[in-house]
Amino acid sequence: MSKFIKFSQAEKEQARTTDLAEFLTAQGEEVKKMGSEYVWMDGGQKVTIRGNLWFHQYEQKGGDRIDFVRRYYHKGYGDAVQMLLGSNAGTEISHSSYTPHKPKQPFELPAKNDNMRRLFAYLLFTRGLDKGVVQEFVKQKMLYESKGHHNAVFVGYDQSGTAQHAHERGTITGKPFKHNIPSSKPEYSFHWNGTSSHLFLFEAPIDMLSFISMHSQQNWQQHSYAAACSISDRVLLECLKNNPQIKNVYLCFDNDEAGQQANKRISDKLNEIHPEINTQILIPFNKDWNEDLLMRNGGAEQCQAQQS
């Protein structure tokens, strides 16, 4: 167990504000300069670094140098500051030795439940999804109920048909739970490959299935859909790489500040790297597409749209 270490305010500030890329290089970590920033890879996920600050692009979280060492080197606050400052800082020295951040655990899908009663009850009655749409994703082994917690599991596959990503969503009303399974690859998050020139990108799988449910009578299977399970563009770029017929992209993130900032950021990026693709932004009338579906089931308008 680490000893208590007392640091001066100047030492704390030094540990927090000095350059993070230099520290990582000194530890033997690989960092690459990209424009005005540096990039360090957390497994297959990108962490950008600018000065003393870092930001995890997939998880949309960040912090300063102390936060970084606490998270990725598994240190308490005192040991993190000690590691950043060197062995002569503080009034009592911790004897914990340097250990690199632990490797990611292998990706593994949650165990399947014997039946899917809780899954169907939640998705059809609480979320209002179309039964035929849900059954199709279950049939394709892209959706199932987990054993034990009875979560909805949304599975993403690579081009060879191997599962590479899974997102869990709790099915207990009033107790929201959602997360990505450890070591999931964001470029393969929950998605459907169609044959048409249209692709629709969403934040969450239930938003994606809600949108499809609202258009289930319009031969929805021909189009492509993807749920980032975050506000990342990784799955979109992978879909574009594997489906060259796609010429029209619709960004369908939530109607809130984070969602609309993501829409704008991804739209600008697509216009720069894929100018041949027509990019549009679709905005749900309510906060998200599931709220629109539930409202539509009560007879209200579903969404507003704007050209990017």
Tell me what the mean pLDDT of segment 231-251 comes to: 94
What's the pLDDT at 89?
Answer: 44
Helix (H) or strand (E) holding 235: helix 234-242
What's the pLDDT at 308?
Answer: 36
The span from the CA of 236 to the CA of 140, in Å, is 20
Given a cut of 90, whether residue 188 has pLDDT beyond it is yes
What's the pLDDT at 290?
Answer: 96
* Residue at token pair 């009033």: 174
What's the pLDDT at 178?
Answer: 83
Q: How many residues does the chain have?
A: 308
* Residue at token pair 């960092």: 31
Q: pLDDT tier at 166 (50, 70, 90 boundaries)? A: very high
What's the pLDDT at 189?
Answer: 95
% the chain with pLDDT above 70: 87
Given a cut of 50, whether residue 87 has pLDDT beyond it is no
Q: List the chain domain ranges.
A: 9-85, 117-307
> CATH topology of 9-85 equal to that of 117-307?
no
Tell me what the mean pLDDT of segment 187-197 comes to: 96
What's the pLDDT at 253?
Answer: 94
Do residues 82 and 5 touch, judged by C-beta distance below 8 A?
Answer: yes
Give 202-236 pLDDT, tens digit per residue.
999 999 999 999 998 889 999 999 999 888 899 99
Instruction: Sort strands 198-202 and 248-251 into parallel, antiparallel or unpaired.
Output: parallel
The CA–CA distances, whole Å, from 168 to 46, 66, 175, 186, 307 equal 22, 30, 13, 14, 32
Q: pLDDT tier at 57 (50, 70, 90 boundaries)? A: confident
Contacts of 174 (CB under 8 A, 6+ apart): none
Which amino acid belongs to residue 131? K
Whether this prediction's pTM lies above 0.75 is answered by: no
Q: How much is the mean pLDDT over the chain?
A: 85
Choices 3.40.50.2300, 3.40.50.300, 3.40.1360.10, 3.40.228.10: CATH for 117-307:
3.40.1360.10
What's the pLDDT at 9?
Answer: 78
Give 1-45 pLDDT, tens digit per residue.
444 556 677 777 777 777 888 888 777 678 888 887 888 887 667
- For domain 9-85, the CATH architecture is Alpha-Beta Complex (3.90)
Tell me what the mean pLDDT of segment 275-289 comes to: 96
